[in-house]
């Protein structure tokens, strides 16, 4: 078990570095969509929610699963949709500038 | 099967990274968001197909209800309300992570199977971070939505109480790790975590909310990653880490923009009292003259300028003046005036908020300039139009060591030939400090509602031949 945990920890640390590399390249003008978009990505916890909800072993498990699925879906769907709504508004100057 | 599903999760994580990479330019950003959402869809579908799902009705109900609520939020939210929207979404993400970890704990208790130490630790951490994110985000939402007071709420022994709470929780986590078979104490832990989330956001003032939202964003990612440890899922860990990193970077940028340390934001209770401006060192005496300007004169200055910079602040968004501002700058551009927008990192209520508000008003993103890009240009600027911005253009930040905002990076608008300040009244800004820019001899004050004033400017510029 500890070995698995260490492997997972390695993945976690490396992914943090990837995150830092990718995110530092995002210009300030897109920081709000970045936030809502990354927010939607953190909705990945939906996987855990689906697994928990899908077990159907106990009532309490099912109830907790249902709550988790609803919360995570709000997070995913709301996050991606609102990000798209914002990004749609970003337009370049139609004229000849630069 | 187990190997196959891991590959799908990997694919999803790769799509997330590619999607985030495309956010490096406004031109590719929208496709990036689409790519990331496809990644999410793949992860969800793979889970439904390959994990042993027994209880379908619950899942279908949950997915439909959650998607509907999310879609309604996303469609109806106004751009000015984006900070509270993000806060709320953060809260749901954190809450979901906490509930998943909690459900795992309950399952181990029910089946009576041995709870491995490593799983136990990650469950506690996941519940802890997730619950703090959940309640903290809800309070942040309430403050931004003005359901609860936006002012910093302080009470005696606040820090001591929070410290005791934190220590108590750590002790409880250790206790639960040693003695897991105890649902009561687990419930107490959840309760304390929720309480800590509330108590740690309550003392933070409205002006500091951008930092808090960024930080909670980071927490929601870390919570998802912790849940990944609990259910042994690399997909969650990678994605959670990405978001955690993103939130930390934004938190750092926001802190720099306000020249405050994270500790100072979290524990400083900035803006808890409205400072008596007259009593402040360096504050102007009441009878110092300000130069007022008429709409006609201001319009003439703008119409015959060559370089104009607009410095918008949150006041512009509150007055809903961004569309009028766009009309004005378009008019000026038609006259051959070069127009740029100067965006301070904390101009809005969250990182990049002002840019979104201007994009909504059809301002092209290549006219928006960051503080570092625009500051060297002010010396060559004929007229700066300050709309609803205050502290971020206060020169005191550069030289007045006694000023509470000393050291904060500002837009150097006072270096321009002329400054026109649109302001409702002489009331001080968020930080509660008066602004010496208003008394500068190159500054012209145009009092009134921002939207109204800009409308009048538009009319006057049209008249100018």
d(CA A22, CA B227): 23
Q: Which of B154, B337, B278, B360 is nearest to A90 (CA)?
A: B360
From first CA to last CA, the distance across chain A in angstroms is: 58
CA distance A17 to chain B (A): 8
DSSP B150: -
Q: Is residue A70 part of a domain?
A: yes
Beta bridge partners of B342: B369
Q: Would you call B287 a catalytic residue per the annotation?
A: no
d(CA B33, CA B90): 17
d(CA A69, CA B70): 12
Q: Is residue A31 part of a domain?
A: no
ipTM computed for the complex: 0.94
Q: Residue A53 is nearest to which of B20, B55, B253, comparing CB atoms?
A: B55
Count of domains in chain A? 1
Both tokens assigned to B135: 């309640």
pLDDT at B220: 93
Q: Residue A42 is nearest to which of B85, B239, B351, comparing CB atoms?
A: B239
Q: Is residue A5 part of a domain?
A: no
CA distance B167 to chain A (A): 25
Q: Residue B103 is nearest to which of A29, A38, A52, comparing CB atoms?
A: A52
Residue range(s) defining the domain that contains residue A44: 37-90
Contacting A residues, span 53-92, partner chain B, CB-CB under 8 Å: 53-58, 60-62, 64-92
Q: Is residue A12 part of a domain?
A: no
Q: What is the pLDDT of residues B328-363, one digit of tens each?
A: 999 999 999 999 999 998 888 888 999 999 999 999
Q: Is residue A95 part of a domain?
A: no
d(CA B348, CA B282): 27
d(CA A11, CA B416): 51
Instruction: Report the chain A residue with the minimal C-alpha distance to residue B45.
Output: A47
Q: Is residue A57 part of a domain?
A: yes
CA distance A44 to chain B (A): 6
Q: Which residue has the tokens 């105890």?
A: B182
Residue A95, phi then psi, degrees to nearest 5: -70, -160
Alpha carbons within 13 angstroms on the beta-carbon side of residue B222 total 20
Q: Is residue A83 part of a domain?
A: yes
pLDDT at B431: 59
C-alpha distances out from residue B437 to B55, B294, B444, B445, Å: 65, 18, 10, 10
Q: What is the pLDDT of residues B185-229, one digit of tens each?
A: 888 999 999 999 998 888 887 778 888 899 999 999 999 999 999
To probe the interface with B, which of A14, A57, A65, A71 has the most B CB atoms within 10 Å?
Answer: A71
Instruction: Report the chain A residue with the minimal C-alpha distance to residue B240.
Output: A42
Q: What is the pLDDT of residues B1-33, one digit of tens each?
A: 678 899 999 999 999 999 999 999 999 999 999
DSSP B293: -
Q: Is residue A67 part of a domain?
A: yes
Contact criterion met (CB below 8 Å) for B312 and B302: no
Going edge to edge, which strands form the sheet with B443-447?
B368-370, B338-343, B307-312, B383-387, B418-423, B443-447
- Read off the pLDDT of each residue in B282-288 and give the average, rounded to a whole number: 51
Which DSSP helix (H) or strand (E) runs through B356? helix B353-360
């Amino acid at each position: 078990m500890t070995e698995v945990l260490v492997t997972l920890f390695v993945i976690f640390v490396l992914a943090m570095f990837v995150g830092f590399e990718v995110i530092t390249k995002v210009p300030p003008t897109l920081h709000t969509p970045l936030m809502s978009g990354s927010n939607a990505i953190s909705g990945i916890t939906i996987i855990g929610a689906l697994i928990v909800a899908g077990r159907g072993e106990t009532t309490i498990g099912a109830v907790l699963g249902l709550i988790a699925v609803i919360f995570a879906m709000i997070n995913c769907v709301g996050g991606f949709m609102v990000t798209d709504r914002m990004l749609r508004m970003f337009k370049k100057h139609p004229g000849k500038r630069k | 099967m187990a190997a196959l599903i891991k590959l799908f999760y990997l694919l999803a994580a790769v799509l997330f990274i590619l999607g985030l990479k495309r956010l490096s330019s406004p031109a590719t950003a929208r496709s990036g968001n689409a790519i990331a959402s496809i990644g999410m869809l793949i992860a969800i579908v793979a889970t439904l197909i390959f994990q042993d799902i027994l209880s379908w009705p619950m899942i279908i109900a949950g997915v439909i209800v959650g998607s509907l609520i999310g879609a309604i939020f996303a469609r109806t939210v106004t751009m000015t309300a984006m900070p509270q929207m993000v806060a709320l979404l953060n809260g749901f993400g954190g809450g979901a992570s906490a509930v998943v970890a909690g459900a795992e704990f309950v399952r181990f208790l029910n089946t009576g199977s041995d709870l491995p130490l490593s799983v136990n630790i990650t469950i506690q951490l996941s519940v802890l971070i997730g619950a703090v994110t959940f309640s903290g985000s809800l309070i942040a939402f309430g403050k931004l939505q003005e359901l609860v007071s936006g002012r910093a709420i302080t009470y005696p022994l606040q820090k001591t109480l929070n410290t005791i709470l934190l220590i108590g929780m750590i002790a409880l986590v250790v206790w639960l790790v040693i003695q897991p078979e105890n649902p009561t104490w687990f419930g107490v832990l959840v309760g304390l975590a929720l309480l800590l989330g509330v108590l740690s956001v309550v003392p933070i003032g409205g002006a500091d909310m951008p930092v808090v939202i960024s930080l909670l964003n980071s927490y929601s990612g870390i919570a998802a990653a912790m849940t990944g440890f609990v259910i042994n899922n690399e997909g969650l860990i990678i994605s959670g880490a990405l978001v955690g990193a993103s939130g930390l970077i934004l938190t750092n940028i926001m802190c720099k923009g306000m020249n405050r340390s994270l500790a100072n934001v979290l524990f400083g209770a900035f803006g808890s009292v409205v400072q008596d401006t007259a009593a402040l060192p360096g504050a102007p005496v009441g009878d110092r003259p300000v130069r007022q300007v008429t709409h006609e004169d201001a319009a003439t200055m703008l119409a015959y300028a060559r370089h104009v910079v607009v410095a918008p602040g949150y006041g512009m968004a509150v007055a809903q003046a961004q569309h009028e501002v766009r009309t004005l700058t378009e008019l000026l551009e038609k006259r051959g005036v070069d127009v740029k927008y100067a965006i301070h990192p904390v101009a809005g209520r969250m990182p990049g908020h002002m840019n979104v508000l201007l994009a909504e008003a059809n301002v092209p993103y290549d006219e928006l300039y960051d503080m570092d890009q625009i500051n060297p240009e002010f010396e060559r600027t004929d007229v700066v139009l300050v709309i609803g911005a205050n502290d971020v253009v206060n020169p005191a930040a550069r030289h007045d060591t006694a000023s509470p905002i000393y050291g904060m990076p500002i837009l150097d608008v006072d270096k321009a030939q002329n400054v026109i300040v649109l302001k409702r009244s002489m009331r001080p800004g968020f930080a509660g400090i008066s602004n010496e820019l208003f008394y500068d001899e190159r500054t012209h004050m145009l009092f009134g509602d921002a939207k109204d004033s800009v409308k009048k400017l538009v009319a006057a510029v049209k008249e100018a031949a």
